Chain A
Amino acid sequence: MLLIITYTRSARSSLRNVRRSHEDVVVRWFGRSALFEATELGAFHGLRLREKHPEAVQIERTRPFNEFMAVPQRVRDAVRAYSEREHANTPYSAFAAGTDHPDVASMARREL
């Protein structure tokens, strides 16, 4: 889908107008941003917004997220283990110390 983010009041209200008059291309709406259908029509409305507000509209293309394809097993294991920790207020960095679970810094470094 196309993620449309607006950064000024006028761009935000233009986005609101698109949502009102072209409901069919707007998959979801979050106030000042929205997901448009990844169709030519979705792109058309996204680009129209950017044409009108060149510096205040960001358009990104989203991809479906499949953690079983994109995320290594060790990260998923760490998630499960951390959610089952004994003390609810143990921060992850303390939880991971001295275990095989990846530490915060190395996860931050590795791109998906």
Chain B
Amino acid sequence: MRIERDGSVWRGRAINLSGVVPRFDGARIVHAMAGGKESGLRVACGDPGDLHEHVGRIASGMTLRRHTALAAAARSRGWSAPQDEEHDRIQDRIGELSVSGVDTATARKRLAETADELDRQRERVARLQGQVKALRDRPGQQAGEAYGALERAMRELSELATERAAAEQALERARDRQRQLHDRHDERLALEDRAANLARAARRHLCDRLRNEFERAVESVPGALGLPDDPVTVALAVVRLGELSAPVVLECDRFDTVRAATDWLNAPVISL
């Protein structure tokens, strides 16, 4: 591997950066390894892969999903699980299920607006009817203008009623499409649940296969005495069991030298 920062270059399978000033940030190194942009910092190394996501940076106080990590170590050895085939098949089917969206919000909004307008218009017509009636009761008043306004208002009312009916139908159609979409979502959800169960079973299978080796590895982790469940201890054991071509960033003091760490872990190491 090769690390370059601001013109300085470090090379090799075991790199000790602990005394370097300014200090390196482990998170930034891991980010750069995964292809992330880090100004002034470049790390060239093997492909990090799944296992590296779990144990690529080992620091005291870290959290670790140990079964997932252990299963990833098994995978890094090229192991597979009996559930893989069905899991992949289900994933393919999930990919084929198209669940393109149906927007019913527009139709709902339109219906709500036309319903409001219709109510307002009804009130307006009622008011005009009242005015016309009052004028009719008092002979000699000019009622022609009020009649005209009433006629226009009634015409608008009927137009709005038509529009509302159309809005109702449009919403009904959108809801029908949405129902079909929900059926497909249901199907996909069932497939996803099945895939998740298979993935869990596969992880269990892989962990079981590694169990004895894992227990021996945990016992032999330097400084593990009294800390067998410590995430750092577990992560180190997982690295030893798996195969990593990208370096592990170590921010813990379990090894005397970075060379000792590389030998024990059987992986490239950057020590901070």
Contact = CB atoms under 8 A, between A and B. Distances in A.
A7 B189 contact: yes
Nearest to A32: B189
Contact of B181 (A9, A12, A32, A55): A55
Interface in B3-62: none
A56 interface: yes
B189 A9 contact: yes
B102 A55 contact: yes
B101 interface: yes
B182 A7 contact: yes
Contacts of B172: none
B189 A58 contact: no
Interface in B174-198: 178, 181-182, 185-186, 188-189, 192-193, 196
Interface string A40-73: 0000000000000011101000000000000000
Contacts of A58: 178, 182
B99 interface: yes
A58 B174 CA distance: 13
A8 B189 contact: yes
Interface size class of A (residues with CB under 8 A): 10 to 19
A8 B101 contact: no
A9 B192 contact: yes
Contacts of B178: 58
Contacts of B196: 9
Contacts of B186: 7
A5 B192 CA distance: 17
Interface size class of B (residues with CB under 8 A): 10 to 19
B185 A56 contact: yes
B101 A54 contact: yes
A68 B101 CA distance: 39
Nearest to A9: B192
B129 to A, nearest CB: 34
A55 B101 contact: yes
A14 B177 CA distance: 24
A7 B192 contact: no
A12 B193 CA distance: 12
Interface in A6-56: 7-9, 12, 32, 54-56
Interface in A77-104: none
Nearest to B183: A7
A2 to B, nearest CB: 14
Nearest to A56: B185
B52 to A, nearest CB: 25
Interface string B121-154: 0000000000000000000000000000000000
Nearest to A58: B182
Contacts of A12: 189
Contacts of B192: 8-9
24 contacts: A5-B182, A7-B182, A7-B185, A7-B186, A7-B189, A8-B185, A8-B188, A8-B189, A8-B192, A9-B189, A9-B192, A9-B193, A9-B196, A12-B189, A32-B189, A54-B101, A55-B99, A55-B101, A55-B102, A55-B181, A55-B185, A56-B185, A58-B178, A58-B182
Interface of A: 5, 7-9, 12, 32, 54-56, 58
Please list the 9 inter-chain residue pairs (A to B) with the smallest Cβ-Cβ separation, ordered nearest first: A7-B185, A55-B101, A9-B192, A7-B182, A7-B189, A56-B185, A58-B182, A8-B189, A8-B185
